């Protein structure tokens, strides 16, 4: 009886999640009016170095393997749809084969808690709470072209390897619908970790897992068999999203070096500000910022921009934009810093 009284249930952990979200928003409000995208991921244990790593990197698949996989899920009729976009194939591959450069996340905390408790009763579970500056629809032409350019070894305008994209859930996939699921899409041929400033972690004690699973089923009808089958909520959900989502005009259907550089600079300044608001050491933030800018300049120098006079001028302008962004925010980071 004494041991049972020490267990924490779903309400206890939801309160902890709520306090963590408040803390995240408090940090973010210092530079962006609290506007951010909240997302979650549950893992049944701490996977150490492979935590938050998509399977394609964890299992060391090559680009050729990835291309073959996209063909095979159609050849073997893993999916029954025709004329799927490449990003849709990757999503289906992640759901049915669990191999892709996509990392599963959810925009609903309850499925994340479920996944943190549903396996490994001998290990503490783990919940990740993310705060991102923006996200994209899986149906957008921009995301399709972004992903397709990753698959094209001959592409002159391949995305910057550090510019991960957050993709929302949609209703074209049953499992995504039930889990309020989305993804983080990782570019590049090598895994690059998500900086820790984008998330906080909560551990679920292994002794609490079964109680939480029982309460999720009893209170919220969340189990292996059933997660949120409420079809009548679609219309109001869409209307609400239309009110909240602002159109980002810079993301057209074409992937260009200019677009990638400016998009990454925007996210990089969000990241640096987030680090500052979390009171990370200012010298450390500046070092990280300098390294990111150096990588971005290397990307510009080795991009598909041509060698004509106008192209060279464009490269110089982009590199100057990177340097001026660094110099400006370096002063911001140091001002009132640690």
The answer to whether residue 5 scores a pLDDT higher than 90 is no
Task: Determine contact, residues 69/99, Cβ cutoff 8 Å.
Answer: yes
**pLDDT the model gives residue 174:** 52
Higher pLDDT, 163 or 28: 163
Taking residues 330-335, what's their average pLDDT? 78
Q: Which residue has the higher pLDDT, 166 or 228?
A: 166
Q: For residues 274 and 289, is the Cβ–Cβ distance under 8 A?
A: no
Q: In this predicted structure, which of 12-21, 60-69, 111-120 has the lowest mean pLDDT?
A: 60-69
Residue of 252, 255, 262, 257 lying closest to 140 (CA atoms)? 252
CB burial of 170-194 (b: ≥16 within 10 Å; e: otherwise) equals eeebeebbbbbbbbbbbbbeebeeb
More confident: 180 or 305:
180
Q: What pLDDT does residue 164 have?
A: 93
Give residue 42's pLDDT: 96
Sign of CA dihedral 271, 274, 280, 286: positive
Q: Give 153: exposed, middle or buried? Use CB within 10 Å, 0-12, 13-18, 19+.
A: exposed
Confidence label for 322 from pLDDT (cuts 50, 70 and 90): very high
- For the chain, the average pLDDT equals 81
**Average pLDDT estimate for 146-158:** 80
Tokens of 11: 């309400």
Q: Which of the listed ranges 165-179, 224-238, 250-264 does the model predict with the highest average pLDDT?
A: 250-264
- Indicate whether 232 pLDDT > 70: no
Is the pLDDT at 151 greater than 50? The verdict is: yes
DSSP readout, 148-182?
HHHH-TT-SSPPPTT--EEE---SSSHHHHHHTEE
**14 pLDDT tier (thresholds 50, 70, 90):** very high
Angle at which helix 282-301 crosses helix 257-277, to 10 degrees, equals 170
For residues 111 and 14, the answer to whether their CB atoms sit within 8 Å is no
What local confidence, expressed as pLDDT, does residue 269 receive? Answer: 84
183 falls in which pLDDT band (50, 70, 90)? very high
Identify which has the larger pLDDT, 85 or 16.
16
Rg over alpha carbons for the chain, rounded to the nearest Å, is: 21
Judge contact between 40 and 109, C-beta under 8 A: yes
**pLDDT of 169 over the 90 cut:** no
């Amino acid at each position: 009886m004494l041991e049972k009284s020490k267990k924490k249930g779903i309400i206890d952990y939801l309160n902890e999640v709520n306090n963590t979200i408040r803390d995240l928003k408090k940090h973010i409000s210092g530079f962006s009016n609290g506007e951010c995208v909240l997302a979650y991921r549950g893992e049944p244990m701490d996977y150490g170095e492979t935590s938050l790593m998509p399977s394609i990197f964890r299992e060391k698949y090559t680009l050729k393997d990835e291309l073959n996989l996209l063909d095979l899920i159609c050849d073997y009729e893993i999916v029954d749809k025709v004329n799927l976009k490449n990003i849709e194939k990757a999503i289906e591959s992640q759901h049915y084969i669990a191999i892709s450069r996509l990392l599963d996340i959810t925009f609903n905390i309850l499925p994340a808690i479920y996944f943190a408790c549903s396996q490994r009763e001998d290990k503490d579970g783990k919940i990740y709470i993310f705060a991102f500056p923006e996200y994209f629809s899986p149906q957008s032409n921009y995301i399709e072209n972004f992903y397709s350019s990753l698959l094209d070894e001959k592409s002159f305008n391949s995305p910057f390897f550090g510019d991960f994209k957050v993709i929302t859930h949609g209703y074209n996939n049953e499992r995504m619908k039930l889990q309020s699921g989305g993804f983080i899409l990782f570019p590049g041929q090598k895994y690059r970790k998500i900086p820790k400033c984008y998330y906080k972690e909560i551990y679920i004690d292994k002794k609490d897992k079964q109680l939480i699973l029982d309460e999720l089923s009893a209170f919220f009808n969340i189990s292996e068999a059933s997660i949120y089958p409420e079809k009548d909520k679609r219309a109001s959900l869409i209307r609400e999203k239309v009110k909240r989502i602002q159109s980002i005009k810079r993301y057209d259907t074409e992937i260009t070096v200019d677009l990638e550089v400016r998009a990454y600079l925007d996210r990089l300044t969000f990241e640096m500000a987030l680090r500052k608001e979390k009171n990370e050491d200012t010298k450390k933030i500046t070092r990280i910022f300098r390294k990111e800018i150096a990588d971005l300049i290397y990307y510009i120098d080795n991009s598909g921009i041509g060698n004509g006079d106008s192209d060279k001028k464009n490269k110089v302008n982009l590199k100057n934009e990177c340097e001026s962004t660094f110099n400006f925010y370096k002063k911001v980071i140091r001002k009132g810093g640690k």
